[in-house]
Amino acid sequence: MNDLSLYRNIGIFAHVDAGKTTTSERILKLTGKIHKAGETHEGESTMDFMDQEAERGITIQSAATTCFWKGHRLNVIDTPGHVDFTVEVYRSLKVLDGGIGVFCGSSGVEPQSETNWRYANDSDVARLIFVNKLDRVGADFFRVVEQIKKVLAANPLIMTLPIGREDTFVGVVDVLTKQAYVWDASGDPDKYEITDVPADMVDDVELYHQQLVETAVEQDDDLMMAYMEGEEISVDDLKRCIRKGTVKLDFFPTFCGSAFKNKGMQLVLDGVVNYLPDPTEVEPQPLTDEEGNPTGEVATVSTTEPFRALAFKIMDDRFGALTFVRIYSGVLEKGMTLLNSATGKTERIGRMVEMHASDRNELTRAQAGDIIAIIGMKNVKTGHTLCDPEHPCTLEPMVFPEPVISIAVAPKDKAGAEKMGVAIGKMVAEDPTFQVETDEDSGETILKGMGELHLDIKVDILRRTYGVEMVVGKPQVAYRETITKAIEDSYTHKKQSGGSGQFGKIDYRIRPGEPGTGFAFTSTVVGGNVPKEFFPAIEKGFKGMMNEGPLAGYPVLDVEIELFDGSYHAVDSSAIAFEIAAKGAFRQSMPKAGPQLLEPVMKVDVFTPEDNVGDVIGDLNRRRGMIKDQERGTTGIRVKADVPLAEMFGYIGSLRTMTSGRGQFSMEFSHYMPCPNAVAETVIAEAKARKEAAKK
């Protein structure tokens, strides 16, 4: 039985291009997992194993690997930084015990850093901070630390200080031990010497050492008293206190270096082992009932408890479907039968493997704390709980954002249609934010995703990985509908056709709900005018109609329905009669309730050189954008704005033209807002034209 105190399940996350994957490669090199670190910019990194990742120099799907450092087992997940793939970060953080937040030494805290930090806060994940790329022009460790405090409202605890800056950066000082680590110019991570602190840094190191000690001893009252009485606190005691504070999220140990130049990485790995929690030290996952409500029980991490695991990622590769699972308790052995609590079906475990990016090592057993992949599971989806059939349970499920953009695709020939159906089925299982539906009117296949890049990659995978040739339509916005007025109405469903008929009469009020509340149904019927057993059917009828609004057929948001009266017939009334009545009532009343079209608004973050800021703001205003904030950095200005998604298609081309290729932007869904009349009229007219064309 492996010692759980020697396990570290960690993720590496950051904004695009802050150096996550390079950091992962260096960790693998230092731990002896690979002999030559591949470079992201050369398309050779181990963790970016998809063709699309190697070509674009970005991480698209999280990759898992296992390595060892100083007797500790590190399960490492390298996550994507691009905003369109944040679901990969979110679901990885759900199953990790700790993380390393990587920040670029010159760009600092960038938009995706904020989103990932927020996800990590939501999941209560303890983190180290690694300020990377200190060899770059404009790199400033202390400026980035201040940004972390201000933008992320985090409390960084400085563990290492840089020696030199930009092209004179040669190493780091360990603030805890007051020793300097200086690397030579060879780029070999092992070629460094430990020396005294440089003379010009002695005062700074003393100051930060004092701050570190004072912050650490706050975790232990006895040590605090001893320190105040002038006693010297041992390094081991300080490490114990830093670990305690890190696990409690009171502060975040902050390291610096250059992953690309192999400087400072050993101290980061030491920090992972010394300060990040093992699986038994984090808050156990709560268990829920079938509806997702907490039961008050938790999945205690232990090998002696009943088996519980969460499937957090599905991946299809040349060997078949891989289901990545985090085991929370118990032991899993080859040949065991597990219950999927979401489907109620059991599955026998055939093969399980330990992953190293796209390579694998066969396993015969795994235990609490492990992150492994199981091959060939049939009915498991992301977020499903796998457990001992004798002890059924459900772990807290994952909640994924709704897609905001869609495109229509059609195979070029009949042979491609079947191939496309199979391929899309596999891709939907892998990515919960990638959805597919068939337009009933036109028969087109509609792909839905989180952004242009997200769908672009999916189409590329369909073409290259699965060999499906397709015709791809223009991106479409995922509009929604709602109502603006409260109305009171009545509807009677009456049908007589020999024998028993159908009868159901309902009196109801429809009113706008609070934004984000979705659909709400209440009943205030008194006196039994509508028997209680018909309430669920009435609710089902109304709810089933929310998928298609009266204006342009888009799903309806935020509607409250109150049933206050009605009548029934002792013989002719039935659940189906009242369900049909509710559907008819929805069709009758929604057009009277001031229907309104809503459009998705994106939180847009644009980086631009100072010379072009006026052009960028002017362009965002023309796109109906609302400027929220401007922030000055060392190399340019960040403009934050809320902009309707409909106006953002092709924005990267315009931004590059305006900024001579130096501008960058990221965006993520923020909220829905009412459409201006002119836009709404155009969207409604287009929707009607599509329906007419489909009928012909």
Of 391, 399, 398, 397, residue with least CA distance to 308: 391
Burial class (CB in 10 A: 0-12, 13-18, 19+), 226: middle
DSSP-derived 3-state class of residue 342 = coil
Note the pLDDT tens digit of each residue in 453-476.
778 888 888 887 788 888 888 777
Q: What's the pLDDT score for residue 43?
A: 39
Model pLDDT, residue 136: 84
Residue 89 has pLDDT above 80, yes or no: no
315 against 540, higher pLDDT = 540
Question: Burial code of 201-214, b = ≥16 C-beta within 10 A, e = fewer?
Answer: beeebeebbeebbe
Q: What would the pLDDT profile of 619-635 be if each residue is shown by its tens digit?
A: 999 999 999 988 876 66
Q: How far apart are CA 120 and CA 696, in angstroms?
A: 51
Check residue 442 and give its pLDDT.
58
Look at residues 75, 503, 501, 513 and name the one whose alpha carbon lies nearest to residue 272.
75
Q: Which residues pair with 360 in a beta bridge?
A: 355
Integer CA distances (angstroms), 79 to 22, 126, 305, 321, 397, in order: 12, 16, 30, 20, 20
Please tell me the predicted confidence (pLDDT) of residue 583. 94
Q: What is the pLDDT of residues 125-169, one digit of tens each?
A: 899 999 988 888 888 899 999 988 988 888 999 999 999 888 888
pLDDT of residue 33: 53
The pLDDT value recorded for residue 57 is 39
Q: What is the mean pLDDT of residues 418-432?
A: 80
Looking up tokens 């390079």 gives 22
What's the pLDDT score for residue 34? Answer: 44
User: Looking at the predicted structure, is the pLDDT value of residue 258 above 70?
Assistant: yes
Percent of the chain with pLDDT over 90: 28
Structure tokens at 4: 């759980």
Task: Using the predicted structure, report yes or no on whether residue 641 has a pLDDT greater than 70.
Answer: yes
Average pLDDT over residues 366-379: 84
Give the pLDDT band of residue 330 (cuts 50, 70, 90). Answer: confident
Average pLDDT over residues 364-386: 83
Q: Does the pLDDT value for residue 563 go beyond 80?
A: yes
Q: What is the pLDDT of residues 471-517, one digit of tens each?
A: 888 777 889 999 999 999 999 999 876 667 889 999 999 999 988 88
* 67 against 332, higher pLDDT: 332
CB of 613 closer than 8 Å to CB of 639: yes
**pLDDT tops 60 at residue 51:** no
For residues 326 and 308, give the distance between their C-alpha atoms in angstroms, rounded to a whole number: 9
pLDDT digits (tens, 9 = 90+) for 61-88: 445 677 788 888 888 876 654 444 556 5
Instruction: Give the range among 171-185, 272-286, 424-438 with minimum mean pLDDT.
Output: 424-438
The residue that leads in pLDDT, 215 or 292, is: 215
Vertex 560 angle, CA 554 and 561, to 5°: 105
Q: How many CB atoms lie within 10 A of CB 292?
A: 10
Q: Among 405, 501, 386, which residue's Cα sits nearest to residue 458? A: 405
Can you read off the two tokens belonging to residue 170? 């040669």
pLDDT, mean of residues 286-315: 76
pLDDT in tens, 662-671: 777 777 788 8
What is the reported pLDDT for 58?
36
Instruction: Tell me the whole-structure pTM to 2 decimals.
Output: 0.67
Q: Round the average pLDDT of the chain to a whole number and report it.
A: 82
Q: What is the mean pLDDT of residues 590-610?
A: 90
Residue 660: strand, helix, or coil? coil
Residues 577-598 have pLDDT tens digits of: 999 999 999 999 999 999 999 9
Using a CB cutoff of 8 Å and minimum separation of 24, what contacts does 495-503 make?
Answer: 495/577, 500/571, 500/572, 501/569, 501/572, 502/572, 502/573, 502/574, 502/576, 502/577, 502/580, 503/568, 503/569, 503/572, 503/573, 503/577
Q: Is the pLDDT of residue 364 over 70?
A: yes
Q: How confident is the model at residue 30 (pLDDT cuts 50, 70, 90)?
A: confident
| Residue 565 pLDDT class (50, 70, 90 cuts) | very high
pLDDT tier, 292 (very low <50, low <70, confident <90, very high otherwise): low
Residue 236 contacts by C-beta under 8 Å, 6 or more apart in sequence? none
Contacts of 382 (CB under 8 A, 6+ apart): 91, 311, 312, 313, 314, 398, 429, 432
Q: In whole angstroms, what is the distance from residue 120 CA to residue 216 CA?
A: 22
- What the chain holds in terms of domains, given with CATH numbers, is 4-281 (3.40.50.300), 288-395 (2.40.30.10), 405-478 (3.30.70.870), 485-593 (3.30.230.10), 597-678 (3.30.70.240)
Q: Mean pLDDT across the stretch 546-575?
A: 90
Q: How confident is the model at residue 35 (pLDDT cuts 50, 70, 90)?
A: very low
